[in-house]
Amino acid sequence: MSKEKDIIDILGHELKTPATVIKLNAQLLEKFSGQIDKDRDEYERYLSRINQAIEEQLELMEMLLTSSGIEGDNIELNIEKVDIKERIELCIDNFSNQAKGKNIRIFNKINSDTPSVLADKIKIMEILNNLIGNAIKFTNKGSITIQTSFDNDYVSVIIKDTGIGIKEEDIPKIWDKFYRVDNDCKTKYSDNINIVKPGGSGLGLYVVYNLIKMMKGDIEVESKYGKGSLFIFRLPVYKD
C-alpha cells in the first residue's frame, strides 16, 4: 500500500465520523423548526447551509475513499439488478434545491421504459452525484437535461448542461487522477474570479471513469468551451 493511499484512507475514515455526527444533529434541529417563532426563515436558511455543506463534505470523503480503493485495487462491488430510473430520479430530487438556488432548470427526460441495469446501487449514486453535481456547479445559467436511451445490451444515461464547457485539448485528460482543468469563466460573483472545471479535487471524474469501467460500462464526453458539456455513460442491461 502506497503512502499516498494510506494517508487518503486514514483521512477519509477519520473525517467521515464527525461529519456524520454533525449531519445527524442538523437533522435533529430540523424537527424543532416548527417551534421557532422569531426569525424562523433565517433559522431554516442557516440550517439548510449546514446540511448542504455536510453533504458536500461527506461526498468528498466518499470520493477519497473510493479513489483510495481504486488505487489499491480493493473496491468491492455488489453487482445486482438496479432500477436506474429510480436512482436518477432520487439524485435529481437531491439536487433540486441547489439547482433552484442558481435558477437552473433540470429537465427530467428519462424514458419510462428504461430497463434495469446490472451494477452496484451505491456506486451508481456516486457516479450520478459526481456528474449531476458538476453540471450544476459549472452552469451559471440555463438548464441541465437528463435522459436515457437503451438497446438490448446497454442503458445510456445522458447528462447535458449549458455550462462553461471544456477546452478541446483538455478533454482527453479529464479522467486522470488529480487532473484539474483551468477553464477561465466569469461567475455570477465576480468577473475576475476563475473557476476550475471539472472538479476542485481532481478526483471526481477519475472515480466516475473507473467505477463505470469496473461495472463493464463506458463513458464519453462531448463539449464546446463556453457552450456546455454532454456526458454519456452506459451500463449493461440486467437480463434474467
Encode pLDDT of 156-181 as tens digits: 999 999 999 998 888 888 877 665 66
Q: Which grid cell sits at 211?
A: 467505477
132 three-state secondary structure: helix
Instruction: Give the pLDDT of residue 71.
Output: 67
**CA dist 184 to 118, 139, 140, 195, 220, Å?**
39, 13, 13, 6, 23
For the cut 60, the answer to whether the pLDDT of residue 216 exceeds it is: yes
Most confident of 57-66, 144-153, 181-190: 144-153
pLDDT of residue 82: 96
Residue 22 reports pLDDT greater than 80: no
Q: Which residue has the higher pLDDT, 232 or 188?
A: 232
CA dihedral 93→97→101→104, nearest 10 degrees, is 10
Q: Comparing C-alpha atoms, which of 87, 93, 90 is closest to residue 238?
A: 87
Beta carbons within 10 angstroms of residue 9's beta carbon: 18
Residue of higher predicted confidence among 153 and 37: 153
What confidence tens digit (pLDDT) does each residue in 38-60 have? 767 777 777 777 776 676 666 66
- Going from the C-alpha of 221 to that of each of 30, 59, 100, 206, 224, the distances in angstroms are 40, 23, 25, 13, 10
Q: Tens of pLDDT along 135-152? A: 998 999 999 999 999 999
pTM: 0.70
What Cα–Cα distance (Å) separates residue 39 from each residue in 25, 29, 42, 51?
20, 15, 5, 19
**∠ Cα 227 139 211 (to 5°):** 95
pLDDT band for position 200 (50/70/90)?
low
Cα-Cα-Cα-Cα dihedral sign, residues 174, 53, 12, 7: positive
